[in-house]
């Protein structure tokens, strides 16, 4: 998933000495793309309304765009009329949510990212072997609720390094850690280090739980951060991976970092004395919003844009099984790419 770092420079206006360093990879990941396309295809297949439990992905623009097409976002399945179609978001759900939907005869489409499903499977496996599972993640995040729900008796949430002293386990010889997919890699490693100090027999997950997209976007930001005075991250406040990008930027040398949903949220005062602006976007952010920020910056003299690439991404997930079979039965395309261009 990684490639040799490469820098593409393009000057779009007369040089002012002011520039934008644009991180790559940024924006949509494979799991978000799949989830958004799933809603779009469901709308094509069944017509509006199509119900979606929780925000399909944590991005204001994406949610509002799908709402305009006829998606109705609900908090729980009991808000969905019996017999209707409901889509589960990319963050995943606990088994009890599937049971509730079945009890109401809802037709379900599960858009859980396969990389979240992988963590669910790990949780089930370690619970079956009677491990205490220390799930590193943010209290209340939908993904953490879903993963914990696979094995509530076995999972203990560890919300960062400072939470480690509070952890209680049944048998320190039989403990494993798993994590939310969208955490800061560095902070998670610090949490694991402190957990291992307390529980030396702590087992690692079979493979990285922090997903490729989260890791790649953090690596790109780490490369840019020392070279910019200001880092702008396009993303929503409830997007865990986007919030982490701001933190990573500041930890690695940017003087300031801000999260914005839209270009018009940028405060001109942030640009005072700034020559180099870093720009990236979270894994649930369509590229059109980044282009709007580039245009906003160009109008203020930051017309020189250099894209700095630290990895190439080509992963694509197939659509949820329930959708694929129905699309196939109707002779419709089972692939598609959402508004990522």
Mark the binding-site residues, compressed into ranges: 29, 58, 91, 113, 141, 181, 211, 239-241, 284
The yes-or-no answer on residue 153 being catalytic is no
d(CA 100, CA 107): 11
- Please give the residues from 279 up to 308 whose contact with ligand SF4 meets the rule CB under 6 A: 283
Out of 31, 137, 146, 286, the residue judged to bind ligand SF4 by CB under 6 A = 31
Instruction: Point out which span in 23-31, 159-167, 168-176, 190-198 binds ligand SF4 (CB under 6 A).
Output: 23-31
d(CA 133, CA 241): 23
Instruction: Point out which span in 30-38, 81-89, 228-236, 288-296 binds ligand SF4 (CB under 6 A).
Output: 30-38
DSSP assignment of 191-225 equals HHHHHHHH-TTPBPPSS--S-HHHHHHHHHHHHHG
Contacts of 261 (CB under 8 A, 6+ apart): 59, 60, 61, 234, 235, 236, 289
Distances (CA, A) of 339 to 15, 27, 60, 62, 115: 32, 11, 14, 9, 21
Token duo for residue 159: 């919300």
Sheet of 132-136: strand order equals 155-158, 132-136, 175-179
Cβ closer to ligand SF4: 191 or 284? 284
Out of 23, 29, 50, 246, the residue judged to bind ligand SF4 by CB under 6 A = 29
Cβ closer to ligand SF4: 108 or 214? 214
Out of 182, 236, 242, 276, the residue judged to bind ligand SF4 by CB under 6 A = 182
Find the shortest distance in angstroms from Cβ 278 to ligand SF4: 20
Instruction: Point out which span in 113-121, 254-262, 263-271, 296-304 binds ligand SF4 (CB under 6 A).
Output: 113-121
Surface-to-core class of residue 192, CB atoms within 10 Å of its CB (0-12 exposed, 13-18 middle, 19+ buried): buried
DSSP assignment of 40-54 equals HHHHHHH-S-EEEES
Beta-strand ranges (E) seen in the chain are 6-11, 19-24, 50-53, 71-74, 85-88, 107-110, 132-136, 155-158, 175-179, 230-234, 256-260, 276-281, 304-309
Report if residue 30 touches ligand SF4, rule: CB under 6 A.
yes
Cβ closer to ligand SF4: 239 or 276? 239
d(CA 18, CA 2): 29
Q: Per DSSP, what are the bridge partners of residue 178?
A: 135
Instruction: Point out which span in 29-37, 163-171, 270-278, 293-301 binds ligand SF4 (CB under 6 A).
Output: 29-37
Contacts of 65 (CB under 8 A, 6+ apart): 339
Find the shortest distance in angstroms from Cβ 9 to ligand SF4: 29
Cβ closer to ligand SF4: 65 or 216? 216
Cβ closer to ligand SF4: 236 or 276? 236
The region that residue 299 occupies, defined by phi over 0 for left and psi between -120 and 50 for alpha, beta otherwise, is alpha
Number of residues that bind ligand SF4 (CB under 6 A): 15
Active-site residue, from 143, 304, 313, 326: 143
- Please give the residues from 214 up to 273 whose contact with ligand SF4 meets the rule CB under 6 A: 214, 241
Instruction: Point out which span in 186-194, 208-216, 265-273, 290-298 binds ligand SF4 (CB under 6 A).
Output: 208-216
Query: Contact letters (x/-) for ligand SF4, 47-86, by CB under 6 A?
Result: ----------------------------------------
Q: Per DSSP, what are the bridge partners of residue 231?
A: 257, 278
Out of 109, 113, 158, 202, the residue judged to bind ligand SF4 by CB under 6 A = 113
Report if residue 116 touches ligand SF4, rule: CB under 6 A.
yes
Binding stretches for ligand SF4 (CB under 6 A): 29-32, 90, 113, 115-116, 181-182, 211, 213-214, 241, 283
């Amino acid at each position: 998933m990684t490639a040799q770092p490469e820098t593409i420079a393009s000057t779009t206006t007369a040089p002012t000495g002011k520039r934008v360093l644009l991180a790559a990879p940024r924006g949509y990941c494979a799991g978000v793309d799949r989830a958004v396309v799933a809603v779009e295809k469901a709308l094509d297949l069944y017509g509006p309304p199509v119900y979606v439990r929780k925000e399909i992905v944590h991005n204001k623009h994406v949610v509002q765009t799908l709402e305009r097409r006829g998606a109705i976002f609900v908090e729980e399945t009991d808000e969905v009329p019996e017999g209707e179609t409901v889509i589960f978001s990319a963050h995943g759900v606990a088994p009890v949510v599937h049971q509730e939907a079945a009890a109401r005869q809802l037709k379900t489409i599960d858009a859980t990212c396969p990389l979240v499903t992988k963590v669910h499977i790990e949780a089930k496996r370690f619970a079956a072997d009677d491990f205490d599972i220390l799930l590193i993640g943010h209290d209340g995040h939908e993904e953490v609720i879903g993963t914990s729900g696979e094995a509530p008796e076995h999972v203990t949430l560890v919300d960062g390094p400072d939470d480690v002293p509070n952890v209680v386990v049944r048998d320190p010889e039989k403990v494993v850690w798993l994590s939310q997919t969208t955490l800061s890699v560095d902070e998670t490693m610090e949490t694991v280090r402190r957990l291992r100090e307390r529980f030396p027999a702590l087992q690692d997950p079979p493979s990285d739980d922090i997903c490729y997209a989260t890791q790649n976007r953090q690596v790109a930001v780490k490369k840019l951060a020392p070279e910019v005075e200001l880092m702008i991250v396009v993303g929503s406040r409830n997007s865990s991976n986007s919030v982490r990008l701001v933190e990573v930027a500041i930890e690695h040398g940017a003087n300031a970092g801000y999260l914005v949903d839209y270009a018009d949220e940028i405060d001109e005062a942030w640009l005072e004395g700034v020559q180099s602006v870093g720009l990236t976007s979270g894994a649930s952010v369509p590229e059109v919003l980044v282009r709007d920020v580039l245009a906003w910056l160009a109008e203020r003299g930051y017309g020189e844009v250099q894209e700095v690439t630290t990895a190439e991404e080509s992963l694509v997930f197939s659509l949820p099984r329930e959708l694929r079979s129905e699309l196939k039965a109707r002779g419709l395309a089972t692939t598609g790419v959402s508004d990522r261009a």
